Amino acid sequence: MSGRHGVPGGATSAARGIIARAARSMMHQADEVAGEAAESAAARTARRIPQGFTERQWTRFARGARQTQRQAGLPDGDLVAHGSRVCGSARTDSDIDVALIVDDDAFFDLAERSLARAPAGTRLRRTMLRRINENGQLASFDLGTDFTALRRQLMDVHVPHKVQFSVLRRGGKFDNGPFLPLD
């Protein structure tokens, strides 16, 4: 018995089976692409809160970071989180990196004030100068013990991670993202 257009009946059902399998395969691939797009969107949304933080911890931490900037008398600039917790590649022992990114004038003014606390000819001063000149960076340590105590009081208490705070020169070696604003 032949089917429509002279094709045997079995061949028509075989063709329908091939077409049905191809359609199912295409639908499965479309579902995978849609799923990947949804996962990507979820990952972007999730990055608004760094890895290892709850929304509540992040809100309190961001508030503490802004308060630290004000109370320490740090200049205006972009206050951001960066590093592995923002990228989503942190290990359980990874710290949270926070930076205040400032222009050249603010950076070098703050660097001069920080260097004034380090006696000339000391290893401390040489280390600070290297960070300033090579990296465009002032670490918490460079900002002084009062700053470190303030940071511990206002930022560290809100998270179970070590906090690394730096002032970075805009355009310097470490002024590269991704960054997550702390506002």
Q: State pLDDT tens for residues 25-70.
A: 665 565 665 555 444 334 434 448 999 999 999 999 999 999 999 9
Q: Which pLDDT score is estimated for 27? A: 59
Which burial class, exposed, middle or buried, applies to 12 when counting CB atoms under 10 A from its CB (0-12, 13-18, 19+)?
middle
Extract the tokens encoding 110.
Answer: 């703050």
Same domain, 77 and 118: yes
Same domain, 76 and 127: yes
Same domain, 81 and 116: yes
Same domain, 87 and 29: no
Extract the tokens encoding 13.
Answer: 């059902």
Q: Which pLDDT score is estimated for 147? A: 95
Q: Which pLDDT score is estimated for 89? A: 94
Tell me how many domains the chain contains. Answer: 2
Provide the strand spans (E) within the chain.
78-82, 96-102, 137-139, 163-169, 180-181
Which burial class, exposed, middle or buried, applies to 41 when counting CB atoms under 10 A from its CB (0-12, 13-18, 19+)?
exposed
CA distance 14 to 129: 78
Same domain, 161 and 95: yes
Question: Residues in the chain with pLDDT < 70?
Answer: 1-47
Average pLDDT of the chain, as a whole number: 84
Same domain, 123 and 169: yes
Query: Taking the mean position of all CA atoms in its chain, how far away is CA 174?
Result: 13
Same domain, 102 and 164: yes
Domain that holds residue 13: 4-46
Angle, in degrees to the nearest 10, between helices 123-130 and 104-115? 170
Same domain, 68 and 144: yes
Q: Which pLDDT score is estimated for 23? A: 56
Alpha-carbon separation of residue 160 from 58, 61, 163, 164 (angstroms):
11, 11, 9, 13
Q: Which pLDDT score is estimated for 177? A: 87
Same domain, 140 and 102: yes
CB atoms within 10 A of CB 15: 12
